[in-house]
Structure 1
Amino acid sequence: MGDETQRGLLNITSEIGKLKAVFLHKPGKELERLTPDYLRQLLFDDIPWLKQMRIEHDEFANVLRERGAQVLYVEDLLAEVLQDKEVRKNFIYDLLKQSKIDSLELHQALYDYMYNRTPEELVEISIAGLQKKDVNLEDREYSLTDYIDADYPLYINPIPNLYFMRDPAAVMGNGISINSMHTDARRREPMLIKYIYENHPLFNKDQSPLWYDYTIPHSLEGGDMLVLSKEVVAIGCSERTSPQAIEILARNLFSGMKELREIIAVRIPPIRAFMHLDTVFTMVDYDKFTIYPGIQDKVEVYRLTRGKNNGITVTPETDLVDTLKKSLRIPSVKLIESGGGDAITAAREQWNDSTNTLAIAPGVVVTYSRNEASNEVLRKNGIEVVEIDGSELVRGRGGPRCMSMPLCREEL
């Protein structure tokens, strides 16, 4: 890793280049803090079985390693940067701010408690949350908030969606977008990435531009961001990514990525079933994409190019396939319909993230084994499908692409 540390590890110029390094988070205690009362608030439809979930996630990580990718865990890198006392101090203040701990007495008591934890324990609190029963704060003055919220079991909420590492940040070129999350349940996640980006030598922020910051109020999530080539990026305008955020990101990318020629904005219906662009559409080879057939007549396509004075020119397009051919400068594009094109099968398997494939090399993708019809149609179209179990992982509504944040790919 020596050379990469010197020049910065980050380098993503396609969706399909051979995967060299990836960021993951192994599901942990935060999933055990899910209860039926708070499922909707924390964006889950069901309570996963953590033991099996971790087995499935290990299988996923091992598949990536076997195919030549270095697997890095967000919890490990964050613990490393929190060894620094000043970083740890700032991190705790930001964690308390994110958790809306406004009572002066409670703020000081929780600060003192967390500062005396090990870096690993502090990382666990930042992800799994902090239960009231785990902290003895009886010697302090109680605030009005303490009395009003007495029945709520947590001081700091868990962030159980963190294993979907794609969303809080995305590498584009040699820089990174640290995103502004749409829902309260996920707003802490990019803060963790920001601390790693700013303080870990592996990221070398001096060589890796910041394209977007999570403090910007317009929501932007990584599941909507696809780097199709050095010259073309696609961004979904969805339930969780706003047009204002796309324009801000576009200006920064056009300013900092000299080879970038255009950005394709794909508007999809703002509903949970089509949560992000990669929920319904992913790239699997140079000229092949998998798509949920129920979305094809529901998208709007816009092409963004450089305008005058750091402006942006927006051109409405009439057809996704034609736009992809023109933008990628290829003679044809093959859309592979999930579920084999059958409406019922496609809808069932799309709920289990059949279209959320992770390309680990051109024409090689990781998918859930349960999506049998979609995997078969991929194989019939010349795609190598590497299957993993996902019976518990899928309960959070995300697939292999959602669970991974590629840091570096071989250039095509």
Structure 2
Amino acid sequence: MYSFQPNCWSEHDELKVVILCAPSKLDVPDLTIAENVGWSATVNHVKAMENFMELKTTLENVGVMVIDYSKELPNDVETVSEQLINRYFIRDLACVLGNSIFLGEAGSSLRRPEYPHAHSLLEKWFPEKFNKQPSTALECGDVMILNKDAVLINLGMRTTLEAVESIKERIFQEGFSEIAIIDLPRRSDTLHLDMNCNVANANLVIAKNFMRYFPVQVFTAQTSRFEMTEQFLNHHGFDVYWLEKYNTIPDINFINLDPETLLISKQATKKQFTNHPQLQKKNLIEIEVSELEKGGGGIRCMTLPLVRK
């Protein structure tokens, strides 16, 4: 169906193709419902759609091809899908590592229906690039490409060691030489790896300062060792910009549009970017996604890159 092939070797190269998903048609009208579904506040569907269209239009305006998978669903699942309130957090469902699509497995029953919906489309579009699901829960917000050599994966509330072990060999087969596993606190504000750190430049990672105390287990195809998080990142050419104060979702959950441009939330603490010498010359594109952020995720959570060049 599509002429391109999935290709992602970093978090910062130019974004060419991305999957999004429009928010569901349901409001979250009161705080009791919001609390029970794990959201931080009430959400109005009309405002959420306005946020989504701003995200989609902004990406298209800078030359990114956008695929809204909600428009590709067959009729027999569309009725269920349009009522799944978390479905726009597309990042968790799959990820492209190298030239292959690696599938996620839901770590929450509330999100379980989304995964086969998205996976069936990916299998139809890219049958030769399609990898089977891991053995147990793995949500791809816990997976981050550092560069062509290294991938960082978090074992948290939604990702298990067994799942990582079941896909580890296939990641090495793609050409990555090291996989580092970190085990971060299991809380709503540390739900996935990309709520704790993010790649902001070819040689810079932004991270919450508590992560400096955590070791990582580093696997190669033949060996295993332990390093501290900063040591591992330095080993792969990254300085770490440790944040002592932060607003978790908007300050950390952003995406790179290209090596010079970051797409950030209007709710982000802008001085977090402008105060750092490696980020001062970055082009910051700010968009309004505050209604969508109430669901517990940010811009990175809402985007699934298929091609970066």
TM-score, normalising length: structure 1? 0.70
Residue of structure 1 equivalent to 2:233? 324
Separation (CA, whole Å) in 2 of partners of 1:384 and 1:367: 10
Structure 1 alignment gaps of length 5 or more = 83-118, 129-157, 308-312
Which of 78, 81, 89 is the aligned partner of 1:124?
Answer: 78
Unaligned runs of 5+ in 2: none
> Taking structure 1 as reference, are residues 159 and 379 closer, same or farther at Cα in structure 2, changes over 3 Å only?
farther
Shift in CA distance, 20/374, structure 1 to aligned 2, threshold 3 Å? same
2:133 aligned with 1:213 = yes
The partner residue of 1:296 within 212, 222, 241 is: 212
- CA deviation map 1:250-307 (0-9, x unaligned): 12222x31x211111122112211011110101011101111224433x221111112
User: In structure 2, how many angstroms separate the alpha carbons of the residues matched to 1:175 and 1:248?
Assistant: 15
Matched, 1:160 2:85: yes
**Partner Cα separation in structure 2 for residue 22 and residue 125 of structure 1:** 24
Partner AA of 1:126 in structure 2: V
Inter-CA distance 2–355: structure 2 relative to 1 (3 Å threshold): closer
**Superposed CA RMSD:** 2.1
- Aligned counterpart for 1:250 among listed residues 156, 168, 172: 168
Q: 1:239 to 1:300 in 2, by over 3 A?
A: farther
Residues 62-120 of structure 1 deviation map (CA, whole Å, 9 limit, x = unaligned): 11112211000111222xxx3xxxxxxxxxxxxxxxxxxxxxxxxxxxxxxxxxxxx2x
- The one-letter amino acid paired with 2:127 is K
* Residue of 14, 21, 24 corresponding to 1:25: 21
| 1:38 to partner: Cα distance | 4.2
* Aligned CA distance change for structure 1 residues 323 and 295 (closer, same or farther; 3 Å): closer
Q: Tell me which residue corresponds to 1:197.
A: 122
Partner in structure 1 of residue 194 of structure 2:
278
Distance, in Å, in 1 between the alignment partners of 2:155 and 2:17 is 27
Query: Residue 173 and residue 395 in structure 1: after superposition, are their counterparts in 2 closer, same or farther (change >3 A)?
Result: same
The structure having more radius of gyration, on CA atoms, is: 1
**Quick check: 1:43–1:185 contact (8 Å CA) kept in 2?**
no
Q: Which moved more, 1:399-408 or 1:372-381?
A: 372-381
SS at match of 1:176: strand
Question: How many residues are aligned here?
Answer: 307
CA distance in 2, matches of 1:59, 1:48: 17
- What is aligned with 1:59? 54
Q: CA deviation at 1:221?
A: 0.6
Give the fraction of aligned pairs with identical amino acids, expressed as a percent: 23
CA distance 1:337–1:385, change in 2 (3 Å): farther
Cα 1:34–1:248 shift into 2, 3 Å: farther
**Residues 304-319 of structure 1: pairs in structure 2 closer than 5 A:** 304-307=219-222, 313-317=223-227, 319=228
2:272 to 362, 374, 378: 374
1:231 aligns with 2:136: no
Aligned position for 1:362: 259
User: How far, CA to CA, are the matches of 2:108 and 2:153 in structure 1?
Assistant: 19
Contact 1:268 1:300 in 2 (8 A): no
* Equivalent AA in structure 2 for residue 315 of structure 1: R
Partner Cα distance (1:126, 1:278) in 2? 28
Offset of residue 34 of structure 1:
6.3
Structure-to-structure mapping, 1:330-341, within 5 angstroms: 330=237, 333-338=238-243, 341=244
Q: CA deviation at 1:18?
A: 0.3
Whole-angstrom CA distance in 1 between matches of 2:70 and 2:2 = 21
Q: Secondary structure at the match of 2:10?
A: coil
- The correspondence for 1:74, drawn from 69, 72, 76, is 69
Taking the aligned partners of 2:52 and 2:193, their CA distance within structure 1 comes to 23
Taking structure 2 as the reference length, what is the TM-score of the superposition? 0.92
What is the Cα deviation at residue 334 of structure 1?
2.6
| Alpha-carbon distance in structure 1 between the residues aligned to 2:241 and 2:286 | 18
Partner Cα separation in structure 2 for residue 395 and residue 365 of structure 1: 21
Instruction: Please tell me the residue identity of whatever aligns with 1:401.
Output: R
Q: Aligned to 1:51, what secondary structure does the other structure show?
A: helix
